[in-house]
Amino acid sequence: MMRLAFALPSNSFRLAKITNPCKPRICRIKSQWMKRPVSMILIISTLCLAQPKKMRWQEISYPADGFAITVPFPSLPHPDAQVPDTNTYPVYFPGQNGVRMTIRVKHQVSSCNEILNDLKMWITGKSDDNSQIEASSIKELFLNGHDGVEYRWRLNSSTMAFERHYCGDDGRLYVFAALWPKGLQFPNSVRRVLDSFRLVKPEFPK
């Protein structure tokens, strides 16, 4: 059975521990408000600059790989280190600890529909009571006449994972992969990127 191993490796992302180191510092600043006004201004300025930048969503087109998406920051594609003839697009969500997303575009896939059919059979056979795959999450998709499939599973005791596979034009296979902390809802930011995906006319290098 042919299955492209696009799942994000479990050791690639460690969930960040959410802490609030600034709270006691603010208390100390308040107690010295009248004694050190200049220091107060400098520290508050530093804290403000350290806050995460507000995400500014915009659609970015990648005609070389034939698609466009709406993201908080432009993704910088690079060749995938594990899958040959594949471009990887990391998607960043500042301030969302534990939420990770990657888009991979595999080129020159001669039997994309066969790969998807094999994948559907594999995940359907694994989605039982003892499996990590959520049976209710398995969905067949269609985009501009192209087939697709998506599903979720428990990557480990603390992390949930998601994959969506789409066949595209000119032998392309699009794979979306996401991770988020177990116990949380499916991230709205990931959903927004997924819903924004559309195919565009490819542009080939001259």
101 and 43, same structural domain? no
Percent of the chain with pLDDT over 90: 54
Tell me: the pLDDT tens digits for 27-82?
332 333 334 444 433 443 444 444 455 678 999 999 999 999 999 988 899 999 99
Supply the range of the domain harboring residue 141.
58-199
Please indicate, yes or no, if residue 123 is contained in any of the structural domains: yes
Question: Among 10-14, 178-182, 185-189, which stretch is predicted with the lowest mean pLDDT?
Answer: 10-14
Q: Are strands 58-62 and 139-143 parallel, antiparallel or unpaired?
A: unpaired
160 and 85, same structural domain? yes
DSSP string for residues in 186-198: PPHHHHHHHHH-E
Please indicate, yes or no, if residue 79 is contained in any of the structural domains: yes
* CATH number where 139 lies: 3.40.1000.10
Q: What's the number of domains the chain is made of?
A: 2
When pLDDT is cut at 50, 70 and 90, the band that residue 201 belongs to is: confident
**Which residue blocks in 7-77 are alpha helix, DSSP H?**
22-31, 37-50
Please indicate, yes or no, if residue 160 is contained in any of the structural domains: yes
Per-residue confidence (pLDDT) for residue 3, from 0 to 100:
44
105 and 45, same structural domain? no
Q: Of 108, 61, 118, which is closest to residue 83 (Cα–Cα)?
A: 108
44 and 114, same structural domain? no
94 and 43, same structural domain? no
Q: How far is the C-alpha of 125 from the C-alpha of 119, rounded, in Å?
A: 10
188 and 96, same structural domain? yes
Please indicate, yes or no, if residue 164 is contained in any of the structural domains: yes
Evaluate whether 148 touches 166 at the Cβ level (below 8 Å).
Answer: yes
132 and 41, same structural domain? no
Q: 18-24 contacts: CB < 8 A, separation 24 or more?
A: 18/97, 22/47
In the numeric block, which tokens belong to residue 101? 């997303």
Return mean pLDDT, the chain. 78
